């Protein structure tokens, strides 16, 4: 297999075979002297024998087989048995990994890739075993789509300043339409606490602090109140209004502060404008950079640079944010042709992003409906494949 930069496309077609979800796709490779075409399937089941049956069925009209099994991806013995059969059948081989590549054999023996390691143990072994027939790792799935539509997405770590506290190791996540910053081991007065700061899409900002209770050696009410405060919720509204709900477990009471009595709250508060500036995503460029950094952090788990040195591609399938998938480091992105989206638009977006960045691209044909028969008819699928190829 030529180096990644010589690829110009991939097409993926989803079909149903023996009750298993199978994905067929095509890879285009271009050199100065020739142009070659690769078409294959993806096996998503959990049986070595059924994977072999699929290879036998498609080997006469495909030349690429992707093992996309959550169960089998962590079984080195199965990976190698299937891979040997794939290559012996004249096909190329790629393996899906949903997370850091941690492979184990049937006895539970670890045989994988360590974070920060100079050598990707299993990938190197695979390359030595199957040479150019081992072409890549399908790493994670729909990173852009998960960011757009996912309920909970871990984005980044940031430095956050809230009130009189400096937070240096806060984690940023996206939950639906809210950006949340998590931090632990904060201190204030004699208390330690964890904090969540939520920046809502509607402009509202909420801080939830959870305090650790401490033994009260001082029986005075003031000391007991300070040390026993177990939680507080601070709400900021776009009109400038601030409310604080303070819950004290030991005293079994709530202290609720509003505009009328906010000056009685014993701790300093930032204004709405000051808090708004703490949102780690202020602009579209900020959002793009957070997404890029997120993918680059994931690639540290598989030592992607070393994989590319061994001519091992790292690819994914997605239905949005193709440009930033590439910016984050993916070698190949397969645009999903599904759900009655515009095939021409999806192909144009992924091909344009790939060509402008000197990367490889492709398409993956997946669900058309969310109900039976789920897949498009054979004639429509064939037309999608032709459109992608042309």
Give a yes or no: residue 155 inside a domain.
no
- What distance in Å separates the CA atoms of residue 184 and residue 158, rounded to the nearest whole number? 13
- Give the chain's domain count: 2
Give a yes or no: residue 152 inside a domain.
no
* 113 and 58 both lie in a single domain: yes
* 12 and 135 both lie in a single domain: yes
**Residue that is last in its domain, among 213, 234, 269:** 269
Q: Count the Cβ atoms, other than its own, within 10 Å of residue 199.
A: 23
* 125 and 239 both lie in a single domain: no
Q: Helix, strand, coil: what percent of the chain each, to 5?
A: 30, 35, 35
Give a yes or no: residue 280 inside a domain.
no
* 298 and 385 both lie in a single domain: yes
Provide the pLDDT for residue 20. 36
* 8 and 125 both lie in a single domain: yes
Give a yes or no: residue 151 inside a domain.
no
* 246 and 353 both lie in a single domain: no
β 35-43/64-67 pair status = parallel
Q: What is the pTM of this model?
A: 0.74
* Integer CA distances (angstroms), 262 to 199, 227, 244, 246, in order: 22, 21, 8, 12
Give a yes or no: residue 206 inside a domain.
yes
Provide the pLDDT for residue 220. 46
- The DSSP line for 357-373 is HT-EEEEEE--S-SSTT
Provide the pLDDT for residue 266. 83
* 175 and 50 both lie in a single domain: no
Cα dihedral 104, 108, 113, 118 sign: negative
Helix, strand, or coil here: 324?
helix
As beta bridge partners, residue 181 has 172, 197
- What distance in Å separates the CA atoms of residue 171 and residue 150, rounded to the nearest whole number? 17
* 10 and 62 both lie in a single domain: yes
Give a yes or no: residue 260 inside a domain.
yes
Give a yes or no: residue 73 inside a domain.
yes
Domain range for 195: 164-269
Give 264's contacts (C-beta < 8 A, 6+ positions apart). Answer: 257
**Residue that is last in its domain, among 219, 243, 269:** 269
**Residue that is last in its domain, among 203, 234, 269:** 269
- What distance in Å separates the CA atoms of residue 336 and residue 351, rounded to the nearest whole number? 12
As beta bridge partners, residue 41 has 24, 65
How far apart, in Å, do the first and last CA atoms of the chain sit? 22
Provide the pLDDT for residue 36. 63
Give a yes or no: residue 115 inside a domain.
yes
Per-residue pLDDT of the chain (390 residues; tens, 9 = 90+): 333 333 333 333 333 333 334 444 544 443 333 456 778 888 999 999 999 999 999 999 989 999 988 888 878 889 999 999 999 999 999 998 876 554 444 455 444 444 334 335 677 788 889 999 999 899 989 999 988 887 777 776 654 444 444 444 567 788 878 888 887 767 776 667 788 899 998 999 999 988 765 544 444 444 444 444 578 899 999 999 999 998 866 556 678 999 889 999 888 899 999 999 888 888 889 889 888 988 888 888 778 887 888 888 999 999 999 999 999 999 999 999 998 889 999 999 999 999 999 999 988 888 899 899 998 999 999 999 899 989
CB 67 within 8 A of CB 94: yes
* 324 and 367 both lie in a single domain: yes
* 122 and 172 both lie in a single domain: no
Q: Count the Cβ atoms, other than its own, within 10 Å of residue 138.
A: 23
Q: What is the CATH number of the domain that holds 64?
A: 3.20.20
Provide the pLDDT for residue 38. 76
As beta bridge partners, residue 35 has 30
* 129 and 212 both lie in a single domain: no
Nearest to 189 by CA among 125, 123, 250, 268: 268
CB 144 within 8 A of CB 350: no
Nearest to 167 by CA among 188, 147, 146: 188
* 42 and 127 both lie in a single domain: yes
178-188, strands of its sheet edge to edge = 152-162, 165-175, 178-188, 191-200, 205-211, 229-236, 242-248, 253-257
- What distance in Å separates the CA atoms of residue 389 and residue 368, rounded to the nearest whole number? 20
Tokens 């980044």 correspond to what residue? Answer: 156
Q: Count the Cβ atoms, other than its own, within 10 Å of residue 231.
A: 15
* Angle separating helix axes 76-88 and 121-130, nearest 10 degrees: 20
- What distance in Å separates the CA atoms of residue 360 and residue 285, rounded to the nearest whole number? 24
């Amino acid at each position: 297999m030529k180096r990644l930069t010589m690829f110009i496309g991939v097409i993926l077609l989803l079909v149903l075979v023996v009750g298993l979800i199978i994905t067929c796709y095509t890879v285009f490779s271009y050199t100065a002297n020739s142009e070659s075409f690769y078409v294959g399937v993806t096996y998503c089941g959990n049986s070595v024998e059924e994977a072999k049956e699929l290879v036998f069925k498609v080997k006469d009209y495909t030349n690429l087989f992707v093992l996309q099994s959550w169960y089998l991806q962590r079984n080195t013995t199965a990976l190698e048995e299937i891979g040997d059969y794939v290559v012996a059948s004249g096909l190329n081989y790629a393996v899906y990994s949903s997370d850091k590549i941690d492979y184990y054999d049937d006895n539970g023996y670890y045989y994988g890739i360590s974070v920060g390691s100079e050598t990707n143990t299993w990938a190197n072994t695979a390359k030595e075993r199957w040479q150019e027939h081992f072409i890549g790792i399908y790493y994670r799935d729909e990173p852009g789509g998960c960011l757009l539509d996912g309920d909970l997405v871990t984005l980044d770590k940031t430095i956050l300043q809230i009130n009189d506290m400096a937070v240096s190791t806060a984690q940023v996540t996206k939950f639906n339409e809210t950006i949340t910053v998590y931090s632990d081991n904060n201190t204030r007065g004699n208390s330690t606490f964890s904090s969540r700061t939520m920046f809502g899409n509607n402009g509202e900002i909420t801080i939830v602090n959870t305090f650790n209770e401490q033994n009260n050696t001082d029986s005075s009410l003031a000391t007991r109140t300070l040390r026993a405060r177990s939680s507080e919720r601070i709400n900021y509204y776009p009109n400038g209004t601030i409310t604080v709900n303070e819950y004290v477990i030991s005293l079994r009471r709530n202290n609720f502060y509003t505009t009328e009595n906010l000056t009685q709250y014993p701790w300093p508060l930032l204004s709405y404008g000051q808090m708004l500036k703490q949102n780690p995503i202020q602009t579209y460029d900020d959002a793009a950079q957070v997404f890029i950094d997120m993918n680059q952090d994931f690639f540290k788990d598989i030592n992607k640079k070393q994989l590319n040195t061994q001519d091992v591609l790292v690819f994914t399938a997605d239905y949005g944010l193709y440009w930033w998938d590439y910016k984050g480091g993916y070698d190949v992105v397969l645009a999903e042709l599904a759900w009655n989206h515009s095939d021409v638009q999806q192909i144009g977006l992924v091909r344009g992003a790939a060509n402008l960045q000197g990367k490889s691209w492709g398409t993956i044909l997946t669900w058309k409906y969310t109900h039976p028969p789920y897949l498009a008819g054979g004639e429509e699928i064939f037309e999608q494949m032709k459109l992608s190829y042309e």
